[in-house]
Amino acid sequence: MRLLPPSWTQIAIALFLAAAWMLIAARVRNAWPSSGRSMPIDHARVPRVRPDRRPGVALLWCAALCAGAAVALLLAYRHDHALVTAFADQADGGAAADVEAIVERDVAFAHASLAPATFAGLGGRAIRLYYRVNPLHPGPGDVVRWGSDFRGPCGSYSRVVHVMLDERGIQNRFLFLTDRRGSTIHTVLEVAIGGTWAVVDPSYGIVYRRPDGGYASAAELKDDPALLQWNVAAVDGYDASYDYQSTTHLNWKKVPVLLPALRIVLVAMLGEARVEEIGRPDLWIWPRLFASMVLAALALVLALTGWRLERGRAAGARAA
C-alpha cells in the first residue's frame, strides 16, 4: 500500500493534539495529590532529587506547538484559496468580460462543475468525519477538492461563487432564506450589479431577472411570487419553500444563545434595519483560517501565562 504524504491539516491536528497532551500531562503531574502515607525510605538507594517542575516551561512548549499548528493551518488555507482561484481561472479561460457576463458565467460554471456529494461518496473515512463534525461546514477549497456538503449543496456552491466573484473585485454577500422559526433552509448570493443587489442561486444555476431584462432583487422576489415562478418554472426540482418571504444576511442561530443574545444587544444599540444589513464574516467560510486564528490566540494566551509563571519563579528564586 502506498503511503500518502501528510497534508498541512493533518500536521496541524497532530501538533495540536501533542500540545494538548503536554498541557494535560503537565497539569496532572503538578496537581496529583499525594497519598499522605509515610513509607520507609532506603536512603542508600534514593536517587538524586529531581529539580522542581516548571509549569511555565510546559506552557511555553504548548504555546510553541499551538503556534506551529496555527502556521500549518494558515498554509493549508492559502493552498485552499489558491485552489479556488485556479477554479475561477478555469471559468473565464483568460477572457475579459464585463461584470454581468462574469456573474452569469461563474454561476453557470460552478453549477455545472461542482459535484453534489453524498456522505457515502465523499471518499475516505477521514474526509467523511471532517465533513460531519466541522461546525463551519466545508470551505470553498474543500468543495472544489471533494464535493459539496452532503447535508445540502446550496451553502457549498454559494461559498465557491462568493470567492470567485471576490477574486474579480465584484461585491457580493450571502443571503439566507429562513423558515418560520428563523432556521436557515437555503443559501444564495446577492451581487451588486447596476446599482441593485441582484439575487443569484449557484446551486440551481439561476441568475434572477425581471421580464424587462433587468436583475431581480430579493425584495422583488418576495413581493411578486409570479416573478419568482417565472424564473424557476424551467428549473427541475426547485423547492417551493424557497419563496424569499423571510431572509437574513447572517444566520443568527448558528451559535445558539450567544448570537441571538448579541443580536438583541445590537438591535437595541443600532436598530433593526442596520442589524439586518450585517453579513456573515468571510472568516467563517474558511474553516482552516478560522482554526488557525483560534490556535494563534490560544498560543498567545499560553505564552503570556507561561512567561508570567517563569518570571514569578525567577523573582522568587532571587528573593530566596
- Mind listing the pLDDT tens digit for each residue in 192-208? 998 899 999 999 999 99
Contact 138, 156 (CB under 8 A): yes
Q: Enumerate helices (H) and strands (E) in the chain, giving the number of each.
A: 11, 5
pLDDT band at residue 5 under the 50/70/90 scheme: very low
Q: Does residue 28 have a pLDDT over 70?
A: no
The pLDDT score that the predictor gives to residue 31 is 46
Q: Does residue 155 have a pLDDT over 80?
A: yes
Rounded mean pLDDT of 78-107?
Answer: 88
Residue 154's identity, in one-letter code, is: C
Q: Does residue 298 have a pLDDT over 60?
A: yes
Instruction: Annotate 148-172 with DSSP letters as a single string.
Output: S-TT-SHHHHHHHHHHHHHHTT--E
Those residues with Cβ within 8 angstroms of residue 308's Cβ, 6 or more apart along the chain or in another chain: 56
Instruction: Pick the more confident residue, 159 or 35.
Output: 159
Instruction: Pick the more confident residue, 59 or 35.
Output: 59
Distance CA 219, CA 278 (A): 17
Rounded mean pLDDT of 269-275?
Answer: 88
Q: Does residue 49 have a pLDDT over 50?
A: no
The pLDDT score that the predictor gives to residue 4 is 36
Rounded mean pLDDT of 131-148?
Answer: 88
pLDDT band at residue 34 under the 50/70/90 scheme: very low
Dihedral angle, C-alpha 50, 53, 57, 62, nearest 10 °: 110
Distance CA 101, CA 91 (A): 11
Q: Does residue 211 have a pLDDT over 70?
A: yes
Contact 299, 70 (CB under 8 A): yes
Q: Does residue 42 have a pLDDT over 60?
A: no
Rounded mean pLDDT of 275-282?
Answer: 87
Those residues with Cβ within 8 angstroms of residue 137's Cβ, 6 or more apart along the chain or in another chain: 131, 149, 151, 155, 156, 287
pLDDT band at residue 30 under the 50/70/90 scheme: low
Q: Each residue of 169-189: pLDDT tens digit?
A: 999 999 999 988 888 899 999
Residue 264's identity, in one-letter code, is: I
The pLDDT score that the predictor gives to residue 156 is 93
The pLDDT score that the predictor gives to residue 33 is 47
Distance CA 241, CA 248 (A): 16
